[in-house]
Structures are given as structure tokens and as C-alpha cells.
Chains A and B, each alone.
Chain A
Amino acid sequence: MKRSPKFIVVGGEVAGLAATLRLAERGAAVQLFSTMPAGRALSADGVDGFNGASNAMGEGDAPRIHFEATIRAGDFLANQELPRRLCDAAPGLIDLFDRMGVAFDRTPEGRVDFSRGEGSRFRRTAFAGDKTGLSLASALDGQVRRYEKAGLVERFAGWEFVSAVLDGRGICRGLVAQNLTTMAFESYKADAVLACTGGAVSVFGSSSAAPFEGFAAAPLYRQGASYANGEFVHFQPAAIHGADKARLIPDVPGGRFWVPRQGSPWYFLEEGSEAAEAPTHEAVNRAIHKVIYELNLGIDGEPAVYLDFTGSRPKGFGPSRSFDDFCMKFARTNPREIALKVSPAVRCTQGGLWTDDDHMTNIPGVFAAGECCYQYHGAALLDGNALPARAFGGFYAADRALEYASGLARGCDETDEAHFINESSLQRERFQGIVDMSGPENPRHLREELGRTMTEAMSSVRNNAKLKSAVNRIREFKERFDRCGVSDKSTWMNQEAVFSRRLRGMLDIAHVMTLGALLRDESRGNHHKPEFPERDDEKYLKTTKARYGKEEPLISYEDVDTRHIKPAPFPFGREKKAS
């Protein structure tokens, strides 16, 4: 009898749930691991909509035009095969999620309504109110629950991916995970492991939108997986900065940015700036950066500007629907009466685990999808593309993982038990080492310092002196980490020890990100260096690849696959009219 392959998916959000669903639907047994309980984990993608060139509005839109816009927005740094497939599949994905019960906005005829994204000529973004990401994740979660009830999916909620189990030939045969309540370590066998654990925004500390720190990319990087394009980070132009975190403001229609200048409001985006031409996030971020740091016109000397909705009324649909409630709750002001004080904040990372066009990392048997994978977006994210890439990536990675696993000559059940036992006890010992740490450094303070360092050096405008000092700081942080003390010695739900282990991973990834930015002497997408204001295709039309080295990340470069569209100069990814 033919053995049936085993799969493990790590991550319970859009990409992970999509992958789990696809695998279960094909009759495969799946174990789904997530740090948060079922249906809890969700990314900042909630502020975004879902692109698909259905041409539902009769404007002459087509997947090919969407694809071109995607590649241009990414400033030609994205490998082109996966985005092409994504754009072809996106209209069908919107239908699928509509069938699944995502509460999309509607036209008067009852069809899915589409909005125009920033800088786009076409209405191709579908929203489910202002909670598109949440709605997508819940619909997928319901589908996965259905297969859970049918016995095909086994959930491990409240478990953390700790490391992959590799056999003597370096092939992944399973993983070691830790139960975050009992703190027990267990190994699990799988022919393929799919990492869908999100991006690395947590290295930015409280100036980022997502506090989730449990990403699997860091331990995999340590085990030899390459990390690609770490230097590319997406900033949302407007966020409310709270005492605990930054809360992103969606691109709500009607908002106007201004700062006081000589006693009256200056609407700095509306005067012949690049941003006035094409208000992409990059252009708006740079304009805000200039106002705050070059012209010193931040409100009351603070790094903030006003975002003003006082002249506009909320729409019944789209991202503005409960925007007013959101402002009342978290800014505690009525945005229709008082202008909001905002500044840019980190929304997501474009870099992540390197994969081939089959979503497989360079560790055979480990796949990556969602924000923890670097594909699709290149040097900048086209608005509305994050969610489709998460969903499509999850489905597509699952299909490729099925192929891979059924092609294996020997399965995980035939792997020597010693590999599992050894990896498990290695990780258990390492963790005990962390619990026992009793030095003077406070890991929580260290993380705040890391966040400040990253926010300063890795903002939308960068320079080499700052980046160099950030890389040095991160080296220091790594040394200081070894002198940390862990305040909780409990053997039950010890969050501090788990946090400290994650922090060590964050430091590795932060090192990759800053070093990648330092070495990239050009301006491309959301990586802007005034010292090198031009895009330099000759030298840097390359994917940055980092591999773990004992002291420093080992950086190399790889050619970008530009098989469909030849790179051309194209500032800020403004779309062409349909021809």
C-alpha cells in the first residue's frame, strides 16, 4: 500500500489556514500549529483590501495590467513568475472567498463592489468593510474547523515552532515544537513543513503595527535557510502612536495631510510634490519625512503631522465604515471634528525566507508562504496585494508541497528516530539555558532599544552612516543578550523565557535587515537613500540573500527573474492607461 504523506503547517492566519484547507481538501492529514489560540492570530493586513482584476466595473482592467502594476510597484525586484500566477488567479480567489462567506462590500445589483487603490487607475480592490483581513481569516478558519471536525486536521493551538528536524542529508522530516502552556517540547514527523508565521515587523518594537513575535523565519534562518530582501519594509503613512503600539490608519478617502506653517495649515501633499502626482505610500512617506526632518515642521516639534477628515463625511461602505469608531476608541477623538495627529509606522516586511518558484526554501521539505516568504512584492507592496499574496501563496505552496511529498522515495516515518530525539533534547537544553539566565540586562528593555534603533535607521529614508551605526548596535545587542536575566522562572506558561528566545531570533533578523540596507547603495521601492538617489539595475537588480554566519550574516546576490516584463525606469509605480 502506498503510504500517505504527512504535513505540518505552522501559522494560523490567512496563508497558513489556506494551506491547511487545501491540503485537507486533497485528503492529506495535516497538523496545524499556531502560537495563538484558534482564529486569534491576525496581521496588520486588515487595513488593506483584496486586489483582483475581474474588470467587474467595465474599465478594461485585466490580470495582465494588474501584473504590470505589481511588478512596477515592486520596482522590478520581484521574481515575476509567482506574481503573474497570482494576478491570473486573483479574480477567481475573490469569487472563492465570496462563496466562503467573506462579507464583501456590494454594488446595488448585489455583486462584489470594487474600490480604487492608491495610485491605481482601476477599481480592482474588494473590501469587506474595514476588516477585510479579519473576515478572510475567519472564513478560512471556519473551513479549517470543518475539516477538524471531520478528523483530517489536528490543531495545536498555543504551540510554538522551535526548529525543523533535519536528517543526515539536511532534508526536513518534521519539527520540534513547544507547548506554550506546559512548556513541554515534542517532536512531530512530517514529509513537508509549511512555515506561514508572518513577517518580521516585531523588530520595530512599539512603532510597528503587529505585536506578534512568534515567527519561524528566525530559527529556520539559523538552521541554514536563506533570508531574502530583508531591507525592504512597508510603512503605512499614517498611524496613531499609542503608549503600547502603533495603530495603522487605512487609506480612508477624504483625508488631507497638513502641518502648521507661519500660522496657517500647509497641505504639503497638494503642491507639485511627487506625492501629488501619484500618492503611493512611498511618495507620501517621503513627503512626510521631509516635512518633519528636513523642514522641521512637525507639530509642536514632534515627529508628527495632521491627517484631517474634518471636511469629509463617512461613507456607508469600504474602509471608512467603522473608521470613525476606531478613532473614537483609540485616538479618542472624533475624526470629523478634530484632525488626527499621525506619523508613518511599519506595516509589514517584504523580505522573508527565500523560496524558489515552488515556495520551497533551500532546506528541502520546508516551504514558506505569506509574509514570512519574500516573494511577490519586490521592493514595495502594491496596495491591496498583500492579502491575495497571502491566500494564493498558501494554496499554491500546499499544492507544491503535496507534489514534493508524494515524490519522496523515503518518508518521514523511515527517518532514524535519533534525529527527532536529538533535536528535541537540544532545544530543551537551550531553552533551559534561557530560563536560567540571571544577568543584569532586561530583555524587555533590550527589545525597546532594538525597536528604536530599527525605527530610526530603517525608516523610509535611509543613510549609510545611520545604517552602519545600527548594524554596530545590533552586534552590541547580541552581546548584551547573553547578559540578560529572565524574570520568570516558572515551569508553567513562562512568557518571559519564550519572549527571550524570540528576541534572540529578532536580533538575527534585524542584523540581516540592516546589513542588507547598508550594502544596497541605490534607491528602489521603499528603500530610499538620498546618497544614491537612482535605481541602479546594473549593480542591484538582484535579490539580497543572507545566510547565517557565526559572527555576521553572509550576504550574496542573485539575479531577479524578469522573464515577462523588462525593467524600465518607472517612479512610484503609477499605472498606464489600458491600451
Chain B
Amino acid sequence: MNAVRIKIRRQDKPGSGAYWESFEVPRRSGMNVTALLMEIRKRPVNHHGEAVSPVVWDDGCGESDCGACTMLINGRPRPACETFIDALEQPIRLEPLSKFQVVRDLIVDRSSMFDALKRVKAWVELDGTYDAGQAPRVTIREALLAQDLSRCTSCGACLEVCPQYGPHAQFIGAAAISQARLTALHPIAKAGVPERLDTLMEEGGVEDCGHAQNCVKACPVGIPLTESIAAVKREATKRAFHRFFG
């Protein structure tokens, strides 16, 4: 039988012990990791032939637009939906992202990422949702950059590979810094930029980046994260200079 061998790091709930469990699934053409997990879910039997509880994961949009299914696949953080199995060494090892608390099996709690977006105020301070006329103009170059930056799905891959990010440190991480930059690009948000930068100049802000440059390589949607960090750093330095010399 042409079977795919998989090893999954499982955990029943937060705080309970993790364990590895192996599965074998018949290979189908064009199979990605999502399809593999669907097979296990349909028939949750491990490689010893024992019925086990089905493996759970966050099955999101399936098109790298939502970030939910990002997990460690053979040690690398990747969305399950865009990872095809024929290029993977077997047994395929699936693990939850390690920088977040595990909720169950491959599902982690990313709420810290959404809290970070609140800290950097990743929004335009709108007067209201009524029709207040046209927005200021934006150049094609700025729009293209904004489109690139707005593809962030809060998947957590950039944080997973960052040596500065984790329970040992305060660093807010590349994703939130890049989202702060995206917001700051907007002509209406310019009024709020100094405040946004203040947050990123505090402890855990942009200065805590260790320049490992892992984030930009890990981002599944190709966001220029190191560029974003450098851009925010430049602005922050300017701001510090102005604050010091008034």
C-alpha cells in the first residue's frame, strides 16, 4: 500500500502531557497536509490499529489567507493548506507552534498577537462610519506597499522563528511592528503616529529586535518584515531625537 507516515505531537488540553502518536494514511494525488489531517479525522485510528480521539487542528480558509492552520511541519512553521506532502520527508512530523499555549493537539492560543495589535493601535482613528467624503490621495507605490503589508494573517510564523520572542522576553514581535507601519502609512493615521511609535519605543518594542532575520524568511505570504522593522526604527529614532531636543 502506498501509505503516508505521519507523527503528530498531541496534547489533550493545556497543562496535560504531550505525546507523539503515529498514523498511516493512504496517499491521494495532490494531497496537502490539510487533506492528510482530514483523512485522520475521518478515520481516527493510529498505526497500531487502535481507535483514538481524532486529531484537532484549526481548519481555516485553506488559501493562506487566515493563518489558522499554521503549525510546525517537519520543524518549520507553515500553513497546512499550502504544504503538499510529496515534497516532505517521511514520517511527516506535525507539531503545534511552540511559542503559544497549546489548547488541544495542533491548536494554539494566539490571543497575544491580537493583544499586540491593540497595543500598537493598528487602526485608523476614524471620525465615524458615515460618508465624510474622499480620503486623501495615495500614490501607487504606497498602495502596493500597503497591499503587501495588509496580507498579514497573524499566523505566528514570524514569532515562532524569532529568538527574541517568547516567554523569556518582552519583544512584541515582527507582525505587530509591521502592522503599526501599515497603519502609519495611511494619510489619515499620520496624526496618530507619534503615539503609536511611543509604544514601540518602550521595552519590548522595536529596539529588542536582534536582527536574526528569520521572520522574513518564515512569512508564508512574503511580507517584507525586516524592512518594516527598519522603517519603524528610523521613525522611532527621529522621534526620540525630536523629543530630546524638543
Residues of A within 8 A of B (CB): 18, 21-22, 25, 36-42, 46, 89, 92, 95-96, 98-101, 103-106, 108-111, 128-129, 131, 134-135, 138-139, 142-143, 145-146, 148-149, 157, 181, 210-211, 242-245, 247, 316-317, 321, 325-326, 329-330, 332, 395, 442, 444-445, 487-490, 492-493, 495-496
Contact = CB atoms under 8 A, between A and B. Distances in A.
Contact of A146 (B84, B121, B186): B121
The 5 nearest A-B residue pairs measured at CB? A110-B137, A142-B123, A92-B131, A103-B146, A243-B35
21 contacts: A25-B129, A39-B114, A42-B65, A95-B131, A100-B124, A100-B126, A101-B189, A103-B147, A128-B150, A134-B151, A139-B124, A243-B28, A244-B81, A245-B62, A247-B63, A329-B64, A332-B84, A442-B43, A492-B104, A493-B103, A493-B107
Contacts of A442: 42-43
Given A95-B134, A98-B134, A37 B114 contact: yes
A34 B62 CA distance: 18
B228 interface: no
B31 to A, nearest CB: 5
Interface of B: 12-13, 28-32, 34-35, 38, 41-44, 51, 53-54, 56, 59-68, 81-82, 84, 103-104, 107, 110-111, 114, 117-118, 121-126, 128-135, 137-140, 142-144, 146-147, 149-151, 154, 182-183, 186, 188-189, 222
A138 B186 CA distance: 14
B53 A96 contact: no
Contacts of B129: 18, 21-22, 25, 96, 143, 395
Among the interface residues A18, A22, A96, A326, which one has the most CB atoms of the partner chain B within 10 A? Answer: A96
A96 B134 CA distance: 8
A92 B189 CA distance: 20
A179 B233 CA distance: 41
A242 B30 contact: yes
A37 to B, nearest CB: 7
B68 A37 contact: yes
Contacts of B150: 103, 128, 131, 134-135, 138
Contacts of A99: 124, 126, 132, 135, 188
Contact of B12 (A36, A145, A490): A490
Contacts of A25: 128-129
A444 B35 contact: no
Contact of B54 (A92, A157, A487): A487
B104 A95 contact: no
A147 B124 CA distance: 12
Nearest to B104: A493
A131 B144 contact: no
A46 B60 CA distance: 14
A143 B65 contact: no
B245 to A, nearest CB: 32
Contacts of A101: 123-124, 146, 182-183, 186, 188-189
A143 B104 contact: no
Contacts of A21: 129
Chain B interface, DSSP helix/strand/loop, else mixed: loop
B131 A96 contact: yes
Contacts of B189: 101
A146 B134 contact: no
A22 B134 CA distance: 19
Contacts of B32: 242-244
Given A40-B66, A317-B140, 17 more contacts: A95-B131, A98-B135, A99-B135, A103-B146, A104-B143, A106-B143, A109-B137, A128-B150, A129-B147, A138-B150, A142-B117, A143-B124, A146-B123, A488-B53, A490-B53, A493-B103, A495-B41
A135 B56 CA distance: 28
B54 A496 contact: yes
A95 B133 contact: yes
Given A40-B60, A96-B131, A134-B65, A145 B42 contact: no
A40 B67 contact: yes
A145 B124 contact: no
Nearest to B87: A332
Contacts of A495: 41, 54, 56
Nearest to B154: A39
A329 B82 contact: yes
A104 B135 CA distance: 11
A250 to B, nearest CB: 12
A540 B50 CA distance: 55
Contacts of B61: 42, 210-211
Contacts of A492: 12-13, 104
B56 A493 contact: yes
A106 B139 contact: yes
Contact of A145 (B30, B56, B118): B118
Nearest to B51: A487
Among the interface residues A111, A131, A244, A492, which one has the most CB atoms of the partner chain B within 10 A? Answer: A244
Among the interface residues A89, A139, A157, which one has the most CB atoms of the partner chain B within 10 A? Answer: A139
B129 to A, nearest CB: 6
Contacts of A95: 131-135
Nearest to A325: B222
